[in-house]
Amino acid sequence: MARKPSDTKQFYQYFDIPNIGNLSAGFPHPSFFPYDHIETKIAKPDRFRKVPSDECMPNVPSYLENGEVDRLSQSIGDLSTVLQYGTAQGYSPLRSFLRQFTHEYIVRDIPYLDGPDIIISCGNTDGFSQVLQLLTNTWSEGLDDVSEREGILCEEFSYTHAIQAAEPRGLQMVPVSVDADGLVCIGPGGLEEVLAAWDTTKGKRPHLLYTIPTGQNPTGTVASMKRRKEIYAICSRYDIIIIEDDPCWHLNYPSAPRLEASARGIPYSTKRQENSFPKSSGIPYIDGMEPSYLGLDVDGRVIRLDTFSKSIAPGCRLGWITAQPAVTQSLFYITEASTAQASGFVQAMVAQLLMGSQHAAKSEFAQKSQEEQDTFTNWDFENWLRWLEGVRGRYESRMNRMCAILEEGRHIQVTHDSPTQLFTFSWPRGGMSVWIRMNFHLHPLAGEFSGPALAHAMWRFMLQKPQRVLVTPGGMFSPTDKIRDERGWKYFRLCFAPVTEEELENTSRRFVLGVQAFWAINSRVEVEEIERVDPFED
């Protein structure tokens, strides 16, 4: 017996010998697990189609207008399995469900026989960290030659935690420009230019692209299908692995282009966008989505990261990685020696939520009383999509509210000339936040202070009364010092997810009033005073 992971796995086959007395596994006997029973009350999948606002808070029964309770009871089955050691691939029923769901609704056009495989992860931060372990070599400044340093292409503004995960491995983040359709391919700062003009004395030419295609964080763009094809072609030519991080896959906003155009008095074409799937799934919600890079992946160069953080709850720490089987197999070994597996508790609870009593025949269901039907646990593909679409609808409405308020308040009449535009932004096509660029060069004190100094003063000013708004400075999403210093300071990210809808409305208003008040400041002393005030002061 050797001690390679594959041999351990091979050893497990003997567990299946009929009637074997298994004295080999270091598994505690299930009678020692102190949990006898776990029960949950979960939302009905159509909660957000029936409830007009997000007043329903967790731990509070959610009642509809007619008094009907908006939830289901579930007992978590199979406890002795899920509380035991499991395999690194994940709890088998959940894995099957997710594999099929990914194939049918996310990938759609399976580009190779049997399609990509999946492995359960502890969410996308874990997933990305595992992929980096698999595909990159660490590099240390001073110790290793700079020509050996590996790099990761990414959007010019990107997710903070992804940047942080790459840093301790000594990887170079290589930003690529972004426009309304996603990563720029051709032209200044575009993918093609960055790769063609690569200077190998500054590190190896990157072999990885980290991209957030839907509701890019922080910019809110959704890459069009046309653009995805162009990007894939370039990656194919330069042999680049695409890491597709898609936590907001389900949060795209079809109303955004129309409402944005309408708010700005610009004509809007209603013709069908080119970026839809070539064939219809029959579900308009799905057909309105842009395709995963996996659907184009004839080379097997795409690794997709999915998570339940934005669709169920971040506290799950549960997600899945989809890629060609050779990649998921390698990730299996990394999982085995790091997290071992995602928590069985959570896998069981999410499996039960998603699948419920799928096995019960529909005819049986019809025979049940109303009360029984109400407590029947019947999420499945269709209901899971219904839930996702319901969540999407609520976030879309939040996005629209915030953008409408920003739209109204983004001008100020300083003189009798045309009004000053304080900031510009696009209505996000997906995701959870609005990315605004401030026109600090139009501030009355632009000659007295540097742009970054004004940006910092405005951020501090926002914390103070009566504004009392915390927004994230663009520097936090700048993958390099250069971008942070040159342009990052101009931006703020405003997230419309964390507060209630009512708070969202008030806070967005306080923000635009705050920007206007900041623009009304015209003495140097006043700006200096802002930096001295303790924001915690009442």
The Cα 481–Cα 488 span in angstroms is 9
The Cα 432–Cα 287 span in angstroms is 21
Q: Which residues make Cβ contacts (< 8 Å) with residue 131, sequence separation at least 6?
A: 243, 303, 305, 321, 331
Check residue 339 for interaction with a second copy (CB under 8 A). Answer: yes
Q: Per-residue contact track with a second copy, 459 to 478, x per CB under 8 A?
A: ----x----xxxxxx-xx-x
Q: Parallel, antiparallel, or unpaired for β 241-245 and 208-211?
A: parallel
Pick one of 10, 35, 360, 446: the residue that binds a second copy (CB under 8 A): 35
Pick one of 221, 493, 512, 519: the residue that binds a second copy (CB under 8 A): 493
Q: Which residues make Cβ contacts (< 8 Å) with residue 261, sequence separation at least 6?
A: 267, 268
The Cα 199–Cα 193 span in angstroms is 11
Check residue 154 for interaction with a second copy (CB under 8 A). Answer: no
Check residue 284 for interaction with a second copy (CB under 8 A). Answer: no
Residues 108-127 that bind a second copy (CB under 8 A): 122-123, 125-126
Residues 419-458 that bind a second copy (CB under 8 A): 432-433
Pick one of 157, 387, 425, 461: the residue that binds a second copy (CB under 8 A): 387
Contact stretch for a second copy (CB under 8 A) within 26-34, 288-296, 414-422, 516-524: 26-34
Q: Is residue 460 packed enough to be buried (19+ CB in 10 Å), middle (13-18) or exposed (0-12)?
A: middle
Least Å distance, CB 353 to a second copy, is 6
Least Å distance, CB 507 to a second copy, is 3
Sheet of 172-176: strand order equals 117-121, 319-323, 302-307, 241-245, 208-211, 151-155, 172-176
Check residue 305 for interaction with a second copy (CB under 8 A). Answer: no
Pick one of 176, 316, 323, 422: the residue that binds a second copy (CB under 8 A): 316
Check residue 80 for interaction with a second copy (CB under 8 A). Answer: yes
At how many degrees (to 10) do helices 92-101 and 381-409 cross?
A: 60
Pick one of 100, 262, 280, 338: the residue that binds a second copy (CB under 8 A): 338
What tokens does 324 get? Answer: 């060609």
Residue closer to a second copy, measured from CB, 287 or 502: 502
Contact stretch for a second copy (CB under 8 A) within 71-79, 221-229, 293-301, 360-368: 71-79
CA nearest neighbour of 406 among 505, 307, 534: 505
Strand partners, 154: 175, 210
Check residue 345 for interaction with a second copy (CB under 8 A). Answer: yes
Check residue 61 for interaction with a second copy (CB under 8 A). Answer: yes
CA angle in degrees (0–180, nearest 5) for 388-391-397: 140
Residue closer to a second copy, measured from CB, 199 or 536: 536
Pick one of 210, 443, 510, 530: the residue that binds a second copy (CB under 8 A): 510
Pick one of 170, 344, 356, 409: the residue that binds a second copy (CB under 8 A): 344
Pick one of 135, 414, 497, 517: the residue that binds a second copy (CB under 8 A): 497
